A and B are shown apart, each in its own frame.
Chain A
Amino acid sequence: MSCESVREQISTHVDGMLDAAERKQLVAHLGSCPSCAARLKSTKELRAGLRQMEVPRVPAALAVQLQVLASHERSRRVSGTGFKGWLRHCGDRIRLSFDNLMRPLALPLAGGLLSAMLLFGVLVPTLSFRHEKTSEPPLSFTEPYGLVVNWTENLPRLEPVDAEVSSDDNVVELTIDDAGCVADYNVRQGQLTPEMLSIIKWSSFTPAMFFGRPTWGKKLIVIPQRRRNARG
């Protein structure tokens, strides 16, 4: 038996994997060959050295991560077993998501709502709103108008500036200021009658409005030729 083949068997022999006949041959050779015996000894020592190597302990962080991993994988597996398990899993997930969503929000949300209500309650009585007396909407421009009492056919009447008038009427164009008083007049046709003068002197009109504010405007007073007493 050559030293070369013995050396190949030594490793197997150390592990106890040689059959009886091979072992017998090997032992016989080792007794007569000191170099192979030394080889056996060093192989055993090497093996002992390997077994004595320090066992690297699992780091605590890794152990925790493995537990988390196991937990995730378990829940994945549970979610896959049967409809009931799946339902329960979904329920758990929804409840967890809702909790995770609400917990950080619940306190700020309730606090914010309460403080908003408190501020509103404190501030509302101190607020004053300007109320418009008139119910008319603030049109961009309204003409001045007046009220004529005792209306009959021949009384003076108010017309818009661009109104069509018959040629035999007396027509005066009035300029009405923002206080409703006549600021100026101009006889368009016919003549200035005493009634017109009376109207010009004494009447007061609702002034023209421009975006809700009184402003100057124009109006026509028309009096038919056959006239009676009139008041504006």
Chain B
Amino acid sequence: MAAVIFDLNSEASGDGKDELLVESLRAGSEQAYEELLARFQQPVYTLAVRLLGNQAEAYDVVQEVFLKVFRNIENFRGQSSLKTWIYRITVNEAHNARRWFSRHRRQEVELDTEPEQSRNWIETIPDTGRSPFELTLDHERVGMIETALERINPVFRAAVVLRDITDLSYEEIADVLCVSLGTVKSRILRGREALREQLTGDLKSAHPLRLVPTTAE
């Protein structure tokens, strides 16, 4: 059975391939385990890093995710695709990890980042006369977006990351987050708005640095 997976390559449809892969995983095929890791370890790691904004935390989360995938493959019913199922586990694990870290990190004291040396987005904008957004994109554009992404509400961040970085469709995001399509649209919109506000430094906002909009349900 395991050999069949590799004969298929990309000729078979994604669903059929998923079914075969899941069947082989249940049967304990070594190749199926390797195949699963080869297909998903990079996207899951990227998603975890972007959701948590921290590679060390993502390191632990990815292991938890694959442990859950391997242990719960029996419970995978095929109602959603394997990809969205694994991403859903990743989003949930990242959520749990964030809660855990936020509870425990409060007591930590950072030694290596001094306020003068830390990269502050507003200090890197030299001229407020020009469009700050364009300027931001010119200077360390990607780095700034990364920083801004870490600052927005995790609920909206998850929607934006799944759409723009992981490149899922709205339906898939709805499946991963277990919400309606309307909520997905709303969260992506609000996530992008929050990002834009972070990047342009909308000082009209009451809390420009810690924008915490309410969750759209």
- Interface residues, chain A, with chain B CB atoms under 8 Å away: 8, 11-12, 15, 17, 42-43, 45-47, 49-59, 62-63, 65-67, 69-71, 73-74, 77-78, 81
- What would 12 A/B residue contacts be, using CB atoms closer than 8 Å? A8-B189, A46-B192, A49-B137, A50-B160, A53-B145, A55-B42, A56-B46, A70-B33, A70-B66, A77-B28, A78-B28, A81-B27
Are the CB atoms of A42 and B63 closer together than 8 Å? Answer: no
> Interface readout for B10-50 with A: 1 if CB under 8 Å, 0 if not?
00000000000000001110100110110001100110011
Contact (Cβ within 8 A) B45 A58: yes
B133 CB-CB contact with A under 8 Å: yes
Contact B59 A62 (CB under 8 A): yes
Task: Give Cα A33–Cα B165 distance, bound, in whole angstroms.
Answer: 30
Q: What is the bound-complex CA distance between A175 and B51, given in angstroms?
A: 108
* Chain A residues closer than 8 Å to B28, beta-carbon distance: 74, 77-78, 81
Contact A66 to B145, CB < 8 A, known contacts A17-B170, A81-B28: no
Q: Pick the contact of B34 from A46, A50, A58, A70 — CB < 8 Å?
A: A70
Task: Tell me how far the C-beta of B121 lies from the nearest C-beta in chain A, rounded to whole angstroms.
Answer: 14
Closest Cβ neighbor of A59 among chain B residues: B59
* Cα distance A49–B196 in the bound complex, in angstroms: 12
What are the residues of chain B within 8 A of A57 when measuring CB–CB? Answer: 42
Shortest Cβ gap from A128 to chain B (Å)? 67
B158 / chain A contacts, CB cutoff of 8 Å? none
Main secondary structure on A side of the interface with B? helix
Query: Is the CB–CB distance between A46 and B62 below 8 Å?
Result: no
- CB within 8 Å of A: which of B53-79? 55, 58-59, 62-63, 66-67, 70-71
Contacts of B26 in A (CB 8 A): 77
The residue from B137, B142, B185 contacting A12, defined by CB atoms under 8 A apart: B185
Inter-chain contact A66/B59, CB cutoff 8 Å: no
B217 at interface, CB cutoff 8 A: no
Do A70 and B189 touch (CB < 8 A)? no
A42 to B192, CA, bound (A): 10
The tally of CB-CB contacts under 8 A between chains A and B is: 100
CB distance from A183 to the nearest CB of B (A): 95
| A63 to chain B: closest residue by CB | B41
Decide: A58 and B66 in contact? CB cutoff 8 A: no
> B73 — nearest CB in chain A belongs to which residue?
A77
Tell me the bound Cα distance from A17 to B184 in angstroms.
Answer: 12
Question: Which residues on the B side are within 8 Å of A11 (C-beta)?
Answer: 185, 188-189, 192-193
A73 contacts B70, C-beta separation under 8 Å: yes
Min CB distance A85 to B, Å, is: 8
A50 B41 Cβ-Cβ under 8 A? no
A45, A52, A65: the one within 8 Å of B63 (CB): A65
Minimum distance in angstroms from A130 CB to a CB of chain B = 70
Tell me how far the C-beta of A63 lies from the nearest C-beta in chain B, rounded to whole angstroms.
7
Whether the pair B133, A42 counts as a contact (CB closer than 8 A) is yes
Chain B contacts with A in 104-137, Cβ cutoff 8 A = 133, 137
Min C-beta distance of A75 to chain B, whole Å: 8
Whether a CB of chain A sits under 8 angstroms from the CB of B151 is no
* 6 nearest A-B pairs in the assembled complex, by CB-CB distance: A73-B70, A50-B164, A70-B33, A11-B189, A78-B28, A77-B28
Task: Known contacts A15-B163, A47-B164, A70-B70; decide if A42 and B196 are in contact (CB<8 Å).
Answer: yes
Contact of B55 among A12, A56, A66, A69 (CB under 8 A): A56
Say which residue of A17, A49, A56, A58 sits within 8 Å of B145 (CB atoms): A49
Task: Give every chain B residue within 8 A of A58 (Cβ-Cβ).
Answer: 41-42, 45, 62
Q: Is the CB of A46 within 8 A of B195?
A: yes
| Identity of the chain A residue whose Cβ is nearest the Cβ of B29 in the assembled complex | A74
- In whole angstroms, what is the CA distance A66 to B66 when docked? 8
A39 to chain B, nearest CB (A): 9
